[in-house]
Amino acid sequence: MAKLSAQMTVLADLDSNLPVNHPHLHICEIERHCILRLQTTQQSLADDIARQCGIPEMPKPGYFQKTKAGLTIVWASRMEWLIFASLDNEESLIRTVASQVGGGKGCLTQISDSRVIFSIKGGDAPDWLAKNCTFDTDINVFRVGMASTARFNQYAAMILHVEHSSYRIYFDAPLACYIAKVMIEAAREFA
């Protein structure tokens, strides 16, 4: 039987010039994660799933929460959340959540392979982000622990403010090469 190996990053075999390593700005692609989209019309069901994942309730609009088990749960839209986990936990997480949403109570969709993830860090990260996004990235407005769906250079993105001057940006995977070029070009002035 043929041995298959999956790429852990979208840009792995491409000449993308990432990572960017400037004195106050670092941009790189992050290895693939398990990403599940949970949709339900029952808030009580969503909160039951949150408790199983280790938090008391699902995050409120505009926020995300990290669990002790290493999951990140993000509010995506009304009655929709994204659950991020390591690939090691993917199968067990899918089984756990799928058992709760069965019987028409909700919908669970695995979207891991359809997203590319970038990390943006450093003292210039908030300014770099402000030049490329369509929302207020001021650290007093878009605070640590907040999430936003926004436009990054005209393309839909989900942005998490994970730590002081540290962000994660998620895009549709087919945009990876183009977005990497845009990020590199936008970083030149911060060199």
The tens digit of pLDDT for each residue in 12-26 reads 555 567 889 999 999
133 is written with which tokens? 């996004």
Neighbours of 88 (CB within 10 A): 10
Q: Given a cut of 60, is residue 189 above it in pLDDT?
A: yes
Q: Which CATH superfamily is domain 34-112 in?
A: Heterotetrameric sarcosine oxidase (3.30.70.1520)
Would the pTM count as exceeding 0.75?
yes
Q: What is the DSSP string of 60-110?
A: PTTBEEE-TTS-EEEEEETTEEEEEE-GGGHHHHHHHHHHHHTTTTEEEEE
Burial 130-161 (b: 16+ CB within 10 A, else e): eebbeeebeeeebeeebbbebebbeeebbbbb
CATH hierarchy code of domain 20-31+114-190: 3.30.1360.120
- pLDDT tens-digit map of 102-131: 777 889 999 988 889 999 999 999 999 999
Domain ranges of the chain: 20-31+114-190, 34-112
Which tens digits make up the pLDDT trace of 117-174?
Answer: 999 999 999 999 999 998 888 889 999 999 999 999 889 999 999 999 999 999 998 8
